[in-house]
Amino acid sequence: MTSDDDDALTTIRNIGPAMAADLVRAGISSAAMLREIGADAAYRRMLASGTRPHFIAYYVLHMALQGRPWNDCKGAEKAGLRVRFDALKAASDRSGGTDPVLERILDQIGTGARRDTNR
């Protein structure tokens, strides 16, 4: 095993090939870099690079950087992370994502992406 293998994103618990691909597309190419910038900055970059927002992926990233199982996120901690996720997503929407006014109208008529409350 080479030192590059030791620093692969997938060496971090809960980071599988799909999330690693999203991270690499966002310019995060190593476990060390991910640890250095942290979950919020990494997720912000993922959104900017086109990753579809998903709350579970967001909190899995947090759990991964803490070395915890992905399903360990519960209660007040999960609620707090949801608030942070919603803020990151809203900021992403304002920075070139879907027009928030249009998205709100689509939600009101039942055709918007936010019908699924897990996202």
pLDDT per residue, tens digit, the chain (119 aa), is: 445 678 999 999 999 999 999 999 999 999 999 999 999 999 999 999 989 999 999 999 999 999 999 999 999 999 999 999 999 998 887 655 455 566 667 677 876 554 444 44
Contact 105, 111 (CB under 8 A): no
22, amino acid identity: D
Name the pTM for this structure: 0.73
Number of neighbours of residue 41 by Cβ within 10 angstroms = 14
Provide the CATH topology of domain 3-115.
Answer: DNA polymerase; domain 1 (1.10.150)
User: In a 3-state reduction of DSSP, which class is residue 102?
Assistant: helix
